[in-house]
Amino acid sequence: MSEATTIGLDIAKHVFHAHGADAAGRAVFRRRLTRGKLLDFFAAHPRCLVALEACGGAHHWARELRAMGHEVRLIPPAYVKPFVKRHKNDAVDAEAICEAAQRLSMRFVAVKSEEQAAALVFRTRDDAMRRLCTVPGVGPVTAGAIMAFAPDLRTFASGRNFAASPGLVPRQRSTGGKTRLGSVSKMGQADIRKLLIVGAMSRIRWIVRKGVLPDNWFGHVLGRKPRMVAAVALANKMARMIWAMMTREENYRMA
């Protein structure tokens, strides 16, 4: 088996994915690593190029890997995105990082010291807060709760999965091949669920004061369903929008 000369590393809070490729770009291994075993893996691996997406946490791991003798390069997420294949997941992200790092024309980010990285984390958090607050119905309190209590949104496979985490999806009562949906599950992070519903209710009150229902899916729901049911539906939609914005690093766009 060829030896990996480049490793793409997708980092998260607890589970990491590594994709190794040889000098010709052929895949050598794909590895899932827990946080506690990450440094042991790289300590046992021959020195090579390790690439990560640039973010606040990446600078910490870059310093650790450099101390072991590895060459480390940080790539802006926007430059990794074109290399991501279909059915995006952490393993695919690691492969995309590895492929991007092997491009001769690729641009990289300088590894920052602990002090510089700490400043970057605060700036990144501020940018995320501002992005969240552009969603109608989401204010600083709700944005702060999502930043504090929600796990890394990239760990959710879809917006529906994120909406399910605070219990904004219906309970399922299925039997005999028939699926029956009940009230919302109310399972998961209660603070985020309550704040999203409060934000949705504020939008409903604003619409009711105007006296004209919007000509969209929400207007149809509000015209047919009780206000609380409509608020939960809107809160679910808000959660999905938040997931899409944060994972794709995009700003809110009026539909």
Which residues, in sequence order, are CB contacts of 233 under 8 Å at separation 6+? 218, 221, 225
Of all residues in the chain, the percent with pLDDT exceeding 70 is 87
- CA–chain centroid gap for 71, Å, is 27
Q: Angle at which helices 190-210 and 227-248 pack, to 10 degrees?
A: 120
Structure tokens at 65: 């890997």
pLDDT (0 to 100) of residue 197:
93
Please tell me the distance from the alpha carbon of residue 11 to that of residue 9, in angstroms, as a whole number: 6
Calculate mean pLDDT across residues 220-236. Answer: 89
Question: What are the pLDDT digits (tens) for 121-165?
Answer: 556 677 788 888 888 899 899 988 888 888 777 778 788 888 888
Q: Are 52 and 98 in contact (CB under 8 A)?
A: no
The closest alpha carbon to 207, from 252, 120, 102, 216, belongs to 216
pLDDT (0 to 100) of residue 47:
95
Please tell me the distance from the alpha carbon of residue 172 to that of residue 110, in angstroms, as a whole number: 49
Which of 68-82, 97-111, 174-188 has the least mean pLDDT?
174-188
